[in-house]
Amino acid sequence: MKKVVVLLLCFILLGCTKNYYKELGYDSKTVKKIESLKDNNQVFFSEYNENLTNIINNEDFIEDNLKTYVLFVDLLDCDTVIRLVNNKTLGEFNLNRINEIINDQNYDENHLEEYLKYYPRTSESLLIKLINNDRMDEYPLIAKLASDKGFVEDNVDIYLKHIEEKETIRELIEYINSKAYLPPYENEEKADTDKYGYLVLVNKYYKLAEDYKPDDLVEVESNYGRGFLRKEAYEAYKKMQDDAEKEGLSMYITSPYRSYDTQYKLYNYYLSIDPQDIVDTYSARPGNSEHQLGLAVDILSPGYDFGNFYQTKEAEWLKENAYKYGFIFRYPEDKVDITGYKFEPWHYRYVGKIAKDIYDSGLTYDEYFEKYIK
């Protein structure tokens, strides 16, 4: 359909309106109708439009609605425009919505009024799916889910299936988004370092290849601890430790990069001490450790060990400041159900600048990755 441009005319078309519309191609009946409008010199059509002709000549045409009809003339057929504008379902404020609705792959014109009836606290596409499938009785609950910051449309049915298992919507969404509702180590996906770079997620659902080893590992200098880290992560760490020291704090890296092989030996060593379900709460299985990325560090303070580091000023400082250097606190005390690991105040993961967004979101990386990165 040709585009119709409406301009407000403040000059002298008056005498020549008739010829003007005729020349555009409007038939004499329509021209006559336009002529009869009380403000015919204010609505100005720059092109011929058949749908507009039909609207103007429709028996339910209301002159006061002309400007609104014209807004939708390229989007909807004549009868729909007349009906929806006349009964005030469609107004200027609907212009963006209607575009989204009619361009949705599941749009069904028979349901248009229903789509418009419900304001999308969800998204238009979700609303359309629910209406098409006659599921609007679930809408109040789904709209509530959709108001959560982590809501992912594709997960709607999984949220509903598990809704009884969590007390709050936030907990439910976190539980589903992070995949924590699935049994760990089953049907694992590949932790794709090529695709995600510094942002790759490694947990009990994403596994690194046995032979994955970063090619830019650098050795940690003795005043910063020991071991190897990827270059960018190491530079960021040094700045972080330097700044912490300026504030009178003292810290060092105790465990950075670990190869698959090292992780394998470590995990098996723990298995000789504890049953597997216990080991899985504090040690990653080989291929499931962030340490293999060369982007994770275990940080301690002199005189403290993993058992009491949480009591230090350093642990407190890291929690509040590490994101400024690109590191995120990976295994918080209150997210054990989500991360699958017990509280590890010493373990930080480098992600780069995005660390601030993750910190601000208050989400675990397991959830953040699924919602914003993947």
- Least separation in angstroms between residue 167's CB and Zn ion is 30
Is residue 344 annotated as a catalytic residue, yes or no?
Answer: yes
Q: Does 258 bind Zn ion (CB under 5 A)?
A: no
Please state, in angstroms and rounded to a whole number, the distance separating the CA atoms of residues 43 and 264.
77
Q: Does 347 bind Zn ion (CB under 5 A)?
A: yes
Q: Smaller CB distance to Zn ion: residue 169 or 295? A: 295
Find all residues with CB under 8 Å of 81, minimum gap 6, and list them. Answer: 51, 55, 69, 72, 73, 90
| Burial 211-220, CB ≥16 within 10 A → b, else e | ebbbeebeeb
Stretch that binds Zn ion, among 39-47, 166-174, 307-315, 345-353 (CB under 5 A): 345-353
Note the Cα 133 to chain centre separation in Å. 25
Catalytic residue among 124, 174, 314, 344: 344
Size of interface with Zn ion, in residues (CB under 5 A): 2
Please state, in angstroms and rounded to a whole number, the distance separating the CA atoms of residues 183 and 331.
19
Query: What would the two tokens of residue 2 be?
Result: 């040709």
Q: Find the helix or strand (DSSP H, E) in which 102 lies.
A: helix 95-103
Are 350 and 296 in contact by the 8 Å Cβ rule? The answer is: yes
Q: Smaller CB distance to Zn ion: residue 230 or 347? A: 347
Q: Smaller CB distance to Zn ion: residue 174 or 298? A: 298
Contact positions with Zn ion (CB under 5 A) in 291-310: 298
Give bridge partners of residue 43 from the DSSP assignment.
Answer: 8
Q: Does 330 bind Zn ion (CB under 5 A)?
A: no
Token pair 């409008």: residue: 37
Query: Nearest-CB residue to Zn ion?
Result: 347
- The pattern of x and - marking residues 197 through 236 that bind Zn ion according to CB under 5 A reads ----------------------------------------
Q: Smaller CB distance to Zn ion: residue 85 or 293? A: 293
Query: What would the two tokens of residue 214 be?
Result: 């970063």
Give 186's DSSP letter: S
- Least separation in angstroms between residue 256's CB and Zn ion is 9
Q: Smaller CB distance to Zn ion: residue 179 or 347? A: 347
The candidate with the shortest Cα–Cα distance to 70, out of 6, 113, 26, 17, is 6
Contact positions with Zn ion (CB under 5 A) in 35-94: none
- Least separation in angstroms between residue 341's CB and Zn ion is 9
Stretch that binds Zn ion, among 25-33, 41-49, 269-277, 343-351 (CB under 5 A): 343-351
Binding site for Zn ion (CB under 5 A): 298, 347
Active site residues: 344
